[in-house]
Amino acid sequence: MNTFLKRISLIILSFVILAAMISAGCLYALRQSSFYKPSYLVNEVVTDDFDYIIIGASTGLTTLNTKVIDSVLGVNGVNLSIDDTAIASQYLMLQHFLAEGKTTKYCVLAPNPMGYDIVKDDLSDNDYRFMPYVNRDYVSRYYQSFSGMEANLSYTSKWFPMLGVGYYNAELFYPSIVSLISPEKHNRFDAQGNYTYPKVERQDQKVEKRTDTHLKFKNNYLEKIQELCRKNNIELICYVSPMLQRNILVDNPDYIVINHSHLIQTNALFYDELHVNSEGRETTSKQFAQDLKQLASNSQ
């Protein structure tokens, strides 16, 4: 009986050690790659000084094209937006950007517009993409600040990486294999961090009716982003992306806002209610460039 128990214990211990080694290897491989935005920022974005950065959700990722903005203004920007994230995640991305010793004149915050009024953020679906950097204090503190199983597993991955990698196996294990083979590969974004939704064939109709929606900009993490920008001499710009059925009205004078919620007047330039397509992105990016130029001239 004792021999049997010893063998079982040895098998279990061997399994745990092997799982820990594989999990640590997965996070290491992702850390050395450019597959997800956090590691892309570390490994591929070699420029240290930017004129502007974009942090946001899928709206920021697909609405503002830094290539167009840069070509219009002759500036240098990068899109660090991650789909399926909230303003809390964008605060973490700004911390990550600054931790890498990088600087920017402007920080463009481009979340889902309705996120500006979410009082309590939860851990976002794609926050696991920061897990390769869980040993950094600001990342572990971020995970620790949330409750729930996903947050707890992400936080404890600081000591037991197999917990987080095991839970997010499809999102971390398989991409780590891809990263080993092609470390330069990106997860749905180009060399400047941009992505676009394709044009969807639909009848070209003018958007004639939008519901007015008032936003008070009361998200707690929005205040944290603004404070972090102030400490680092960065001007925060809150961006409201085009919306098919809503006209956003901002009821807070404490923030600089570029409001494009009503910019596009035809549904042919939308991919869905919240996102523009590739043609719509061209329109919004060109207009954003002009708005940013106007802001810069007004501040001089």
Torsion of CA 46, 48, 113, 282, to 10 degrees: -60
**Domain assignment of residue 2, yes or no:** no
Per residue in 5-39, pLDDT tens?
667 767 666 666 777 788 999 999 999 999 999 99
Bridge-based pairing state of the strands 49-56 and 103-110: parallel
> What's the rounded Cα separation, in Å, for the pair 11 and 255?
58
**Domain assignment of residue 17, yes or no:** no
| 44 band by pLDDT with thresholds 50, 70 and 90 | very high
Per residue in 159-206, pLDDT tens?
999 999 999 999 999 999 999 999 999 999 999 999 999 877 666 777
* pLDDT for residue 75 is more than 90: yes
**Span 58-86, average pLDDT:** 97
Q: What is the pLDDT of residue 15?
A: 64
> What's the rounded Cα separation, in Å, for the pair 37 and 177?
17
**Domain assignment of residue 99, yes or no:** yes
| 3 band by pLDDT with thresholds 50, 70 and 90 | confident
Instruction: Let me know: does 134 contact 163? Beta carbons within 8 Å.
Output: no
Query: Which of 40, 126, 59, 52 lies closest to 89 in space, CA to CA?
Result: 126
Looking at the chain, the whole-number percentage of residues with pLDDT higher than 70 is 95
**Burial code of 110-123, b = ≥16 C-beta within 10 A, e = fewer?**
bbbbebbbbeebeb
What is the domain range of residue 292? 22-299
Which amino acid makes up residue 276?
V
| 247 band by pLDDT with thresholds 50, 70 and 90 | very high
**Domain assignment of residue 4, yes or no:** no
Q: What angle do CA 123, 186, 198 make, to 5 degrees?
A: 85
Instruction: Let me know: does 23 contact 153? Beta carbons within 8 Å.
Output: no
Which amino acid makes up residue 78?
V
pTM given for the model:
0.94
* pLDDT for residue 291 is more than 90: yes
Per residue in 105-114, pLDDT tens?
999 999 999 9
**Domain assignment of residue 51, yes or no:** yes
For the chain, how many structural domains are there in total?
A: 1
Instruction: Let me know: does 116 contact 219? Beta carbons within 8 Å.
Output: yes
Q: What is the pLDDT of residue 275?
A: 95
**Domain assignment of residue 14, yes or no:** no
**Domain assignment of residue 225, yes or no:** yes
**Domain assignment of residue 31, yes or no:** yes
